[in-house]
Amino acid sequence: MATLKDIAVQSGVSVSAVSRILNHDATLGVPPETRQRVFDTAKKLGYHKVRRKTNKKKTDRHAFTMGIIQWFSAQEELQDHYYLQIRQGIEDFCVRHSIEIRRAFQTDTDHLRDLEKVDGLVCIGKFSDKEAAALSRLCSNVIFIDMHGNAPDLSAITLDFEGAVRTALHYLESLGHEQIAYLGGKEFTADGSQVTDERREAYIRERKEKGLFREEYLLEGIYSSASGYELMKELLSHTRGLEKPGDPEENGREEKDENAVLPTAVFCASDNIAFGALKAVHDYGLKVPEDISLIGFDDVEMCAYSSPPLTTLRAPAYAMGQQGANLVFTASNLSSKTPMKIRMSCRLVKRESAGVRKRH
């Protein structure tokens, strides 16, 4: 008898995606042709849903129900590879272990009610203290992914941003770069509180330790390619007095800060920011990495196909999701629960966007 895995292999999508498509999950962001391919493959293989026999003493529900809440909307998630990968890691784990999934987005009107009576809850993203407390009241078995669990009674899985940023900066330094800029983004919880970005803080600490921190090298917008483009434009125009892209008569030439020095390398807090920055460098008539080296963060699929391919830090988003689901599931079998703080390492992926500094 055909299984979900058989369909996944032949249709070229994940097991969790196959399950959601066959269950007509409209929130799954896949093209119509992918959905149709899965249905056609299931029909071709003669797949039929198996109704499990249940013990008469038990209720008709699964033995374990996993709640998953994403900190922003379904539409925003489709545009954010990092958070989408975390959720897919959780759901693949649940499919393999026959765990029922109850999914919600914080933007849903009744997201707290939708998650009532779950056996475990995985919260993805940035939540305020008030939001975290409300989620923790839903269930005693909760873990937060990609959020600082400052409260001692919260379990959390985060990335080792400190180690990742230092790895990136040390690599650029080994290539001869001293003047290194930072392009990042600001994030806010649902109640408007700004989230502390560990990448930004790590960059400032490392630069100050070496006596190389320059205020004009730290620019922040939002986590998007459009923002990365504007941030790089600002950096280049203020440090080089370069002509803006477009109509010279309309844009003119930016006035150069006489004390400013063009950085030879830029660390971007996300790949999307780096893609925008890459285009801005090209539009200003400069080259990567000959004039400016770039490093991103996440390692989305497009990094290998940009021009030049982007050097970046690989964030283990999918593994974070798997680990979070596993910890919540395992904790349900323990008589007592001790809050845990886990930091997962990132790996530097070297490609062509970072090169040896040219000596003039």
- What does DSSP say about strands 293-298 and 311-314: parallel, antiparallel, or unpaired? parallel
Q: Which of 33, 61, 32, 44 is nearest to 7 (CA)?
A: 44
Sheet strand arrangement including 341-344: 100-105, 65-70, 120-124, 142-145, 155-159, 341-344
Place of tokens 């290998």: 304
Distance CA 164, CA 210 (A): 17
Q: How many CB atoms within 10 Å of residue 195?
A: 16
Taking the CB of residue 91, how many other CB atoms lie within 10 A of it?
26
Report whether 95 contacts 15 (CB < 8 A): yes
Q: What pLDDT tens digit does each residue of the chain (360 aa) get?
A: 788 888 888 888 888 888 888 876 656 667 777 877 888 888 888 877 654 444 434 344 458 999 999 988 877 887 788 999 999 999 999 999 999 999 998 888 888 888 998 999 999 999 988 889 999 999 889 999 998 766 778 899 999 999 999 999 999 999 999 999 999 999 998 888 898 899 999 999 999 999 999 999 999 999 999 999 999 999 998 776 555 555 444 444 445 555 568 999 999 999 999 999 999 999 999 999 999 999 999 999 999 999 999 999 999 999 999 999 999 999 887 766 788 899 999 999 999 999 999 865
- Predicted confidence at residue 39, as pLDDT, reads 81
pLDDT of residue 158: 94
Q: Residue 313 — φ and ψ, nearest 5°?
A: -100, 125
Spatial separation of the C-alpha atoms in residues 236 and 230, rounded to whole Å: 10
DSSP class of 74: H
Question: Could you tell me the two tokens for 344?
Answer: 């997962």
Which residue matches tokens 């374990």? Answer: 64
Q: Tell me the sheet residues that pair with 181.
A: 266
pTM for the predicted model, two decimal places: 0.77
Angle between helices 4-11 and 15-22 (to 10 degrees): 110
pLDDT number for residue 24 = 64
The pLDDT value given to residue 75 = 77
The pLDDT of residue 246: 55
Contacts of 13 (CB under 8 A, 6+ apart): 21, 30, 34, 38
Please give the Cα distance from 198 to 188 (Å, whole number): 14
